[in-house]
């Protein structure tokens, strides 16, 4: 209750007015967001700012599976970061794999069973070059286990506002396109089957690509980031 109150107050009184005045975001498809009940918002991921623009645009509170680094930072900045993410109801996501990642997904599953809107970036990390990368299976696992709709979301231009490595955003207009809910009843009986999870993931990524207009790269974004880092190190 406290988290919801803080979230709504911050959005209405502080974050929303600033974002809407400075960046003048445009939106399409807001009527595809259900007025109540659980759903997954599956979005492309171009910028750190994505997790600001989506909540400002969407009428209902959105709980994100956010990387747990935001909870693990040290000092005063780390303390304020933890407070903010907890106060806004965000969920730490451990991306190291194995049991840690499964525990993080369990927290996301609980949020959906409580009727929340859950925001997920299926690529797992920000795109290093503006392309749309292969989706990971966590989003599909949650959708099939909880039998909730997946709503594809495309952010437009946020990589120009705050590209990787830039702390202070540039003032540019951004967009948000929300697609029609996707329901995967045909796969519910095989929720734990990796082939079913991959099929669902690929269908969602295809819709995100259609909405965003991005070129698709059939590799994981984390793999491409590692390749680029290795190339940069070799060139030094």
The CATH number of the domain holding residue 55 is 3.40.1130.10
Buried b (16+ CB within 10 A) or exposed e, 132-143: bbbbbbbbbbbb
Question: What tokens were used for 157?
Answer: 């231009």
Nearest to 65 by CA among 110, 118, 125, 115: 118
146, 168 in Cβ contact below 8 A? Answer: no
If one counts the domains in the chain, the total is 1
Which residues on adjacent β-strands are paired with residue 43?
153
Paired sense of beta strands 150-156 and 175-178, if any: antiparallel
Domain assignment of residue 75, given as a range: 2-235
Residue pair 125/222 in contact (Cβ under 8 Å)? The answer is yes
Neighbouring C-beta atoms of residue 212, cutoff 10 Å: 22
- The whole-angstrom distance between residue 130's C-alpha and the CA centroid of its chain comes to 15
- Cα–Cα nearest to 66, from 40, 100, 104: 104
One digit per residue, the tens of pLDDT, for the chain of length 236 reads: 446 777 788 888 888 899 999 999 999 999 999 999 999 999 999 998 898 899 999 999 999 887 776 666 677 656 666 666 666 677 877 666 566 567 778 989 999 999 999 999 999 999 999 999 999 999 999 999 999 999 999 999 999 998 887 778 889 999 999 999 999 999 999 999 999 999 999 999 999 999 999 999 999 999 999 998 888 888 77
């Amino acid at each position: 209750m406290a988290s919801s109150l803080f979230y709504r107050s911050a959005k209405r009184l502080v974050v929303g007015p600033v974002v809407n005045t400075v960046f003048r975001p445009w939106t399409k498809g807001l009527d595809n967001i259900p007025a109540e009940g659980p759903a997954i918002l599956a979005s492309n991921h171009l910028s750190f700012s994505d997790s600001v623009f989506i909540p400002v645009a969407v009428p209902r509170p959105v709980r994100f599976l956010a990387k747990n680094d935001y909870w693990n930072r040290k000092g005063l900045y780390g303390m304020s970061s933890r407070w903010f993410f907890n106060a806004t109801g965000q969920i730490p996501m451990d991306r190291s794999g194995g049991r840690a990642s499964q525990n993080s997904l369990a927290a996301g599953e609980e949020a959906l069973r409580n009727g929340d809107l859950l925001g997920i970036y299926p690529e797992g990390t920000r795109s290093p070059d503006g392309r749309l990368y292969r989706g990971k299976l966590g989003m599909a696992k949650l959708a099939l286990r909880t039998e909730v709709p997946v709503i594809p979301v495309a952010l437009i231009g946020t990589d120009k506002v705050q590209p990787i490595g830039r702390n202070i955003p540039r003032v540019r207009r951004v967009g948000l396109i929300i697609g029609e809910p996707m329901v995967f009843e045909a796969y519910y009986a095989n929720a734990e089957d990796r082939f079913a999870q991959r099929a669902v993931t690929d269908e969602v990524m295809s819709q995100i690509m259609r909405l965003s207009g991005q070129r698709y790269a059939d590799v994981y974004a984390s793999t491409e980031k590692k390749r680029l880092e290795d190339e940069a190190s070799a060139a030094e």
